[in-house]
Structures are given as C-alpha cells and as structure tokens.
Amino acid sequence: MGSPPSSSAVREARVALGGRLREIRKAGGFKTARAFAVCAGWSESKASRIENGVTRPSEEDLRQYAELCRVPQVYSDLVATAQNIEEMYVEWRRLHRDGLRPIQEAHVPLYARTRHFRVYEPGVIPGLLQTPAYARSIMGRIIGFWGIPDDTESAVAVRMGRQQVLRDAGRRFGFLMEEAALRSRFGGAEAMADQLAHLLTVSVLQQVSLGIVPMTADRTMWPLEGFWIYDDEQVVIELATAQVTVKQPSEVATYARMFSELARIAVHGKAARALITEALNALA
C-alpha cells in the first residue's frame, strides 16, 4: 500500500519498544548498553540506536535481548510488537484514497479465517449487522467528508457479502453497542426502522450474542472508541483520523478484558431486544 506511514504514533511506538528493551536489559543485569552490546557481539551504537527507537530491531536482535537477559518468555510478545509497528497506524486518507471498496475487500480474508468476533461500537451499528440502506448512508457520509471517489454501491455490495459469515454456526459473534447507537439516525426514519428490525432478527441467532449498554447503566467501564477483536490474534481500532491495528498478545488481551468489562454492564437477550424495540417505536 505504498510507503509506510510517517505518523508520530509510529515513532512513539518505536521509542516505547526501545524503552522496554532498555528496561529488560537493566533488569537482566546489564547496567549499560555497552555491556549488553559486548555480550551480544554488537557495536555499542547498535544497542543505543535500538533502545532509542532509531533502528528497528530484527527478530534475532529481540531474541538476544530475551535470552541474554534471561526472560525468554517475553520473546514472542516483543516480536509481535515490532512486527506491528509499521502497520499499526494507517490514516483514513491513505486507506480511502481509491474509494471504500478496496478497504472492504481487504478485510475479506480476515473475516474468512476468524472464528470468534468480538465487536464494540459506541455510536453506530457494526458493519456485520448493517442493512444495505444503513450502510449506504454511513458510507455516503464518509465519502462526502473525505472527498474520495464515490464507489458507494460496490462498497455496500462487498460489505453485504461479508455478512455471510454470520450464518456459519461454527463461528461465534459477540456484539456490544452503546444504546446511543440505536438512537443515532442514519438514512432517515424508514432506514433506521428497517435497521433496528434487522437487529431484532439477527439477535436470536444461536451463534450471535448481542449486548446493549443502557444509557442508565451504572458505569464500571467508560465508553471507548470502536474496536474489533479477531480471535485472539489482532484488534482493529477506529479513530477519527486513522485505523490502528494491534497484534501484540498483551495489548490484544487488554482489549479482550475491556470487552468483558463492557459486556458485564450491557443487557442481553430479552432486555437488549426491549431497548431495540423502544428505539424502533420512538421512530413512529
């Protein structure tokens, strides 16, 4: 997809990884980068560049840190962190420069291999649960806001096609939404009515768990940006300006914990369908 992103977030991630390696090195008994470099057979400048986020460490470099500092258990997490840095932050302008269909298609392989989806959305209905009219309205606004090529219809078609995974009883789907997502109108009252009715239909599928966090909930977990957890492999977070992907096991585990916390304050089953029905009746 072209040159790697130059966002400050990537630079900060490199520096953070270097800082973590510095801590590992010191905890392992190497007080200076020079002492570690001698043991590893490196130049002192190499260790310094890695720990200051100037040079991206190779997998072999990370193995040296883990093994020489006697913490082999951190190796896999370090590798996942390093691999994720260059792809972790991609601006929407870059993703959408050729329209919305390419990014919709790019997720098809990920959807195909994922067996357990966990999705949290604070203000919109998740894409896997959207009707064509609702998706068309959302995508139209994105296209208008960013001023990108208008491929709404083909992008909507791809999104609808991805929803076939919902019918696979061998997969599991956990959806959590804030109640505000039921009340925020996209596409007008008729489109919203169809969308909410569709939610009621999907909510009874055996492989689907649908939770709604009521506006009146006693919060023990604050609202977050929308995120999607694919199995236990990666999380995709949608910010206002960019898509962030994290793959390091510790961060994936943190998002899984956040999802669990939100699920505890959400209502499910009949109570969730009651909130959907209330929102539907309010459109009349």
Q: 26: domain CATH number?
A: 1.10.260.40
Quote the CA–CA distance of 49 and 55 in Å, as a whole number: 5
Q: What is the pLDDT of residue 8?
A: 58
Structural domain includes residue 116: yes
Q: What is the pLDDT of residue 86?
A: 66
* pLDDT over threshold 60, residue 4: no
Q: Which of 79, 81, 68 is nearest to 26 (CA)?
A: 68
Domain count, the chain: 2
Quote the CA–CA distance of 105 and 167 in Å, as a whole number: 19
Query: DSSP string covering 123-142, please?
Result: SS--GGG--HHHHHHHHHHH
Structural domain includes residue 238: yes
Structural domain includes residue 3: no
Q: Which of 120, 94, 81, 79 is nearest to 243 (CA)?
A: 94
Q: Does 118 lie in the same domain as 76?
A: no
Q: Which domain holds residue 117?
A: 89-281
Q: Does 131 lie in the same domain as 268?
A: yes
Q: Does 108 lie in the same domain as 38?
A: no
- Model pTM score: 0.74
Structure token digits, residue 272 = 């969730």
Q: What is the pLDDT of residue 11?
A: 76
Q: For residue range 65-110, what is the model confidence (pLDDT) as tens digits?
A: 999 999 999 999 999 888 877 667 666 677 777 889 988 998 899 9
Q: Does 127 lie in the same domain as 21?
A: no
Structural domain includes residue 2: no
Q: For residue range 175-233, what is the model confidence (pLDDT) as tens digits?
A: 999 999 999 999 999 999 999 999 999 999 999 999 999 999 999 998 889 999 999 99
Structural domain includes residue 17: yes
Structural domain includes residue 164: yes
Contact 117, 228 (CB under 8 A): yes
Domain boundary among 85, 116, 140: 85
137 φ/ψ angles, rounded to the nearest 5 degrees: -65, -45
* pLDDT over threshold 70, residue 143: yes
* pLDDT over threshold 90, residue 117: yes
* pLDDT over threshold 90, residue 6: no
* pLDDT over threshold 80, residue 63: yes
* Pairing, β 242-246 against β 116-121: unpaired
Q: Does 256 lie in the same domain as 195?
A: yes
Q: What would you report as the CA-atom Rg of the chain, rounded to the nearest whole angstrom? A: 22
Mean pLDDT of 16-44: 95
Q: What is the pLDDT of residue 245?
A: 86
Say which CATH number the domain at 226 has.
3.30.870.10
Q: Does 131 lie in the same domain as 240?
A: yes
Q: What is the pLDDT of residue 258?
A: 96
Q: What is the pLDDT of residue 255?
A: 94
31 φ/ψ angles, rounded to the nearest 5 degrees: -70, -30
Q: Does 241 lie in the same domain as 136?
A: yes
Q: Does 134 lie in the same domain as 119?
A: yes
